[in-house]
Amino acid sequence: MKKFFAAAFILSSIAGAAQNVLQNAQIHGDFQTDFQYYLPDSSIGADTVPEKLLSNGYLNLLFTSGNFSAGVRYENYNNVMQGFDPRYKGSGIPYRFASYSHKDFEITAGNYYEQFGSGLLLRSYEERSLGIDNSLDGIRIRYKPYKGIYLKGAIGQQRFFFDKGEGIVRGLDGEINLNEFNNKWAASKLKVTVGGSFVSKYQADRDPIYNLPQNVGGWAVRTTLIYGNWMLNGEYAHKVNDPSTVNKMIYKPGEALFTSLSYSKKGFGITLSAKRIDNMNFRSDRSATGNVLTMNYLPALTKPHSYTLLAFYPYASQPNGEMAFQGQLNYKIKKGTKLGGHYGTDVAVNYSRANAIDMQKINDSTALMQSGTLGYTSDFFAIGDELYFEDINIEISHKFSKKVKGIFTWAYLTYNSDIIEGHTDGTFYSHIGVADVTYKITPTKSLRMEVQHLMTKQDEKNWANAMIEFTLAPKWFFMAGDSYNYGNPADDKKLHYYTTGFGYTKNSSRIAITYGKQREGIVCVGGVCRNVPASYGFLVTITSNF
């Protein structure tokens, strides 16, 4: 009888607890599916796709109740859309987690995303458009033992498509925000944050040729100083020998320095940044290439361009080595002046440059980057001669009237395709101009037009682009555009890449349908290239949040 009452008591307690949990529970989620119907077009090199229709789909569900949360993501690739890694083929639940927090303590089991500092040693994240998901599957603990002190510990294996990578990732991170210690410091004009992290990976050595390190560790220190309008950021990371496919199996330790100084006040802002990367490819599998199983993130010090022709020659950080600098100046010309007009004019000038690092042979008989050696020596402050990328651009935004505003951009790009794409096509120099004008017909109707031109004597020579977009807020938009490679010396390559489409939004759901052609391109990371094939057809994108 006692057992019966005990069991009844336990069951009622569980039911009561469950009821309490469910009473406060919330479920949120988002859904996205992209599917493309492919048409062959031999003129642009769009091959026949046997399935004709390819689709990528994602569903996120997040359950929260008080201090408890849990989530899953279902992914479906039937089959993988072109341009994405075909190893995603199939479907499943590659992401699921449960998390509990109590006061200053939080523990997560399952998949999680994490970043230490600026990510020089550890950043797991999802970037769906690039096919990147390097989430960790394991345990993460966050703890705030005292005001202003933040500690994190993580261990796990990284996602490898619908499986896990072989390596195990371990990391600790600590950050101290001095201004949170007491009220006096909180009121200080000087804000100081310092941090440090240790990250290591384990991967067994079964290689019969090389003596490989099974445990590869790295450490990093960082600080952020804010004084009035000034802000200084800096992080330095060091990694022990880590021979890998990307660094051609050399044993030199790696290091990275990222620093940024900025000043801003109303109508004026300036940022100067510098970066040195030396052999800092860091993956949980030494043989991985492309965007697979990356543990760290090396931010690119270049302005991300969104206009079609400005984004023709994008730069990606070179994990094997680069010295990069960037300066950005933002200035608002006051309204009522000759240049500012009635509404003022915004001017943004940006300059960025990435060069090789200095590399010297370790001795006369060993070639640079020779596998199974230290690879090279490098002077920390010396800049290599080879230019990887340079971008000088100016963007002027001006509102002409209540109905008309425009953004005008000019850029001069230098793009070393040999380094960035791993090709042997040399360096491309291009002038690009963009005019983007929006005409607001009524408060809910607007017309936006883009005219772009790219001029270069290399690669496929000159391109022109035009696009018109009509928005009927808040539900509809329609667009049509064309990129024309009119400067191509081969007549059969003077091709049009036209696109037309529309979108419809209702509540928190949206559907967009586009029809047209996409040019072929190459994406290369770490010496291995991925082909983004030319395509032609219909693309449908459906997104919904709830």
Distances (CA, A) of 259 to 123, 310, 329, 356: 18, 26, 17, 18
Q: How far is the CB of 525 from other proteins (least distance, A)?
A: 9
Which C-beta is closer to other proteins: that of 236 or that of 331? Answer: 236
Which C-beta is closer to other proteins: that of 113 or that of 143? Answer: 143
Q: How far is the CB of 207 from other proteins (least distance, A)?
A: 5
Contacts of 453 (CB under 8 A, 6+ apart): 309, 432, 433, 462, 463, 464, 465
- The half-sphere exposure of 145 on its side-chain side, counting CA atoms within 13 A, is 6
Which C-beta is closer to other proteins: that of 46 or that of 172? Answer: 172
Q: How far is the CB of 317 from other proteins (least distance, A)?
A: 18
Q: How far is the CB of 169 from other proteins (least distance, A)?
A: 11
* Dist. CA 538–CA 513, nearest whole Å: 7
* Dist. CA 395–CA 436, nearest whole Å: 11
Cα dihedral 116, 120, 122, 126, rounded to 10, equals: 100
* Pairing assessment for the beta strands 53-65 and 496-506 based on DSSP bridges: unpaired
Cβ pair 249, 372 in contact under 8 A? yes
Closest CA to 27 of 59, 70, 67, 73: 70
Q: How far is the CB of 217 from other proteins (least distance, A)?
A: 4
Q: How far is the CB of 200 from other proteins (least distance, A)?
A: 5
Concatenate the DSSP letters of all residues of 428-442 into one string: EEEEEEEEEEEEEEE
Which C-beta is closer to other proteins: that of 70 or that of 249? Answer: 249
Give residue 70's Cα distance to chain centre. Answer: 25
* Dist. CA 165–CA 159, nearest whole Å: 6
Which C-beta is closer to other proteins: that of 28 or that of 493? Answer: 493
Q: How far is the CB of 205 from other proteins (least distance, A)?
A: 8
Q: How far is the CB of 512 from other proteins (least distance, A)?
A: 25
β-partners of residue 39 are none
* Dist. CA 282–CA 20, nearest whole Å: 45
Question: 119: buried, middle or exposed (CB in 10 Å: 19+, 13-18, 0-12)?
Answer: buried
Contacts of 371 (CB under 8 A, 6+ apart): 243, 248, 249, 250
* Pairing assessment for the beta strands 105-112 and 136-146 based on DSSP bridges: antiparallel
Which C-beta is closer to other proteins: that of 85 or that of 106? Answer: 85
Q: How far is the CB of 61 from other proteins (least distance, A)?
A: 24
Which C-beta is closer to other proteins: that of 148 or that of 344? Answer: 148
* Dist. CA 250–CA 96, nearest whole Å: 37
Give residue 63's Cα distance to chain centre. Answer: 27
- The half-sphere exposure of 146 on its side-chain side, counting CA atoms within 13 A, is 9
Which C-beta is closer to other proteins: that of 261 or that of 529? Answer: 529
Which C-beta is closer to other proteins: that of 83 or that of 481? Answer: 83
Which C-beta is closer to other proteins: that of 59 or that of 529? Answer: 529
Q: How far is the CB of 367 from other proteins (least distance, A)?
A: 4
Q: How far is the CB of 301 from other proteins (least distance, A)?
A: 24
Contacts of 283 (CB under 8 A, 6+ apart): 167, 201, 244, 246, 292, 293, 294, 295
Q: How far is the CB of 223 from other proteins (least distance, A)?
A: 18
Q: How far is the CB of 361 from other proteins (least distance, A)?
A: 11
Contacts of 443 (CB under 8 A, 6+ apart): 473
Which C-beta is closer to other proteins: that of 253 or that of 340? Answer: 253
Closest CA to 539 of 192, 45, 152, 55: 55
Which C-beta is closer to other proteins: that of 222 or that of 405? Answer: 222
Which C-beta is closer to other proteins: that of 416 or that of 446? Answer: 416
